[in-house]
């Protein structure tokens, strides 16, 4: 099933690229700018067709896409009859909207995915009292317990299995104490001493079932041990709850993106280390790593809700990340062009305030070395991340 996950991710990636370019395209058309090309991919043309003044097509290398708007910079050669409809002759505010429209579409797609997930499937919640795992034995040590070591013939049966607890049971009380969250369940178990016999009440298939268990001990672990773990359930939310979930998702992703960018210098030296997942390098990935994660999620032996939720949140996260990255004031990204337009607007207004002639467009020829340098840095880091994800991938488990 790994290949299916890869196909899903690649489709989502290309769809995101097309949506990004569509944002530029629609905004430019809306303001009457002349758009001559709309292509998916780069390299040799596989297929194309003309509709009006625009050529639409597919290129051989599915590594992105582009929209060609006439007169994007002062360097572009434009036919005299097309100059009035060129990008560079439009008012500054229109150019800003066209440039920001690509990232805006990424944010819209992410919001729709997160909103739809909350309404249709639900928000993941692992703080319920429903059992997702019932251990069959008592682990010999806390380390073995944490690492999920397989049971051996010498391991004693777990208190949960002896008591008859089942996956899907919902614990409602523990030794007479009502519990509503998994945090409460763990607190009462850890406070109980090993060897103590406790009374449990569970809901099973609509019935209340009383049970008893004698807690065990695990070497290196304080408190009693029952041998259960919470299930992760998906709880559908209201319209207001879905909107709030979108806000939470964006807030977490923005802060996470800022943290990842800040960690990037320290992450690079550990990209190829054996303990990459335990370092800052485990938090950065390329499209190859994201595709591999999608493949693992689709192939995992879990319910469809987990798979769909993971893929949708991954695609949403990717779009928020790309949208933010694209708005950074660095050429050749859209954010760099936005910074140039803002500078043109500021110095134009300053000139008018001083009753001087508008200095006009920024000379992009002076910016080419800067743009090329940043482009090469981005290519270098992208290639480095791709190589690391191929030879030293991070397993999501």
Whether residue 89 is preceded by a cis peptide bond, meaning omega within 30 degrees of 0, is no
Encoding tokens for residue 111? 């919001």
21 catalytic residue (yes or no): yes
Closest CA to 388 of 281, 305, 299: 281
Closest CA to 19 of 112, 126, 92: 112
Sign for the pseudo-dihedral over CA of 13, 285, 340, 362:
negative
Q: Who's near 192: CB < 8 A, 6+ residues apart?
A: 175, 198, 215, 223, 224
Selected catalytic residue, list 21, 253, 292, 344: 21
Closest CA to 344 of 100, 94, 103: 94
b/e code 57-68 from CB counts within 10 Å (16+ = b)? eebeeeeebbbb
Identify whether the C-beta of residue 319 lies closer than 8 Å to the C-beta of residue 16: yes
Encoding tokens for residue 340? 């140039």
Catalytically active residues, by annotation? 21
């Amino acid at each position: 099933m790994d290949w299916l996950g890869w196909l899903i991710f690649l489709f989502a990636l290309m769809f995101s690229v097309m949506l990004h370019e569509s944002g530029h395209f629609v905004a430019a058309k809306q303001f009457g700018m002349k758009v001559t090309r709309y292509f998916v991919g780069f390299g040799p043309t596989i297929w194309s067709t003309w509709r009006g003044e625009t050529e639409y097509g597919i290129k051989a290398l599915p590594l992105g896409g582009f929209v060609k708007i006439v007169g994007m910079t002062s360097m572009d050669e434009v036919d005299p009859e097309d100059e009035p409809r060129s990008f560079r002759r439009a008012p500054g505010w229109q150019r800003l909207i066209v440039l920001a429209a690509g990232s805006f579409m990424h944010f819209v797609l992410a919001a729709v995915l997160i909103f739809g997930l909350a309404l249709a499937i639900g928000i993941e919640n692992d703080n319920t009292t429903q059992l997702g795992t019932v251990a069959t034995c008592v682990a010999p040590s806390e380390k073995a317990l944490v690492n999920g070591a397989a049971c051996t013939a010498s391991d004693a049966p777990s208190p949960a299995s002896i008591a008859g607890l089942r996956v899907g049971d919902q614990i409602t009380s523990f030794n007479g104490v009502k519990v509503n969250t998994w945090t409460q369940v763990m607190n009462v178990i850890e406070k109980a001493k090993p060897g103590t016999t406790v009374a449990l009440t569970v809901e099973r298939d609509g019935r209340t079932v009383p049970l008893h268990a004698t807690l065990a001990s695990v070497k290196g672990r304080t408190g009693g041990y029952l041998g259960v773990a919470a299930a992760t359930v998906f709880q559908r939310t209201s319209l207001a709850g879905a909107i709030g979930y979108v806000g939470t998702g964006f807030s977490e992703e923005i802060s996470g993106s800022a943290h990842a960018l800040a960690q990037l210098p320290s992450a690079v030296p550990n990209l190829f280390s054996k303990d990459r997942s335990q370092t800052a390098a485990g938090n950065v990935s390329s499209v190859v790593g994201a595709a591999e994660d999608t493949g693992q999620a689709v192939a995992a032996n879990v319910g469809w809700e987990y798979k769909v939720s993971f893929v949708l949140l991954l695609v949403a996260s990717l779009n928020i990340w790309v949208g933010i990255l694209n708005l950074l004031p660095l050429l050749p990204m859209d954010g760099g062009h936005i910074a140039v337009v803002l500078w043109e607007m500021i110095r134009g207004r300053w000139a008018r305030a001083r009753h001087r002639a508008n200095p006009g467009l920024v000379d992009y020829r002076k910016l080419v070395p800067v743009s090329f340098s940043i482009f090469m840095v981005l290519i270098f880091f992208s290639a480095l991340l791709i190589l690391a994800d191929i030879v030293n991938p991070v397993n999501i488990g």
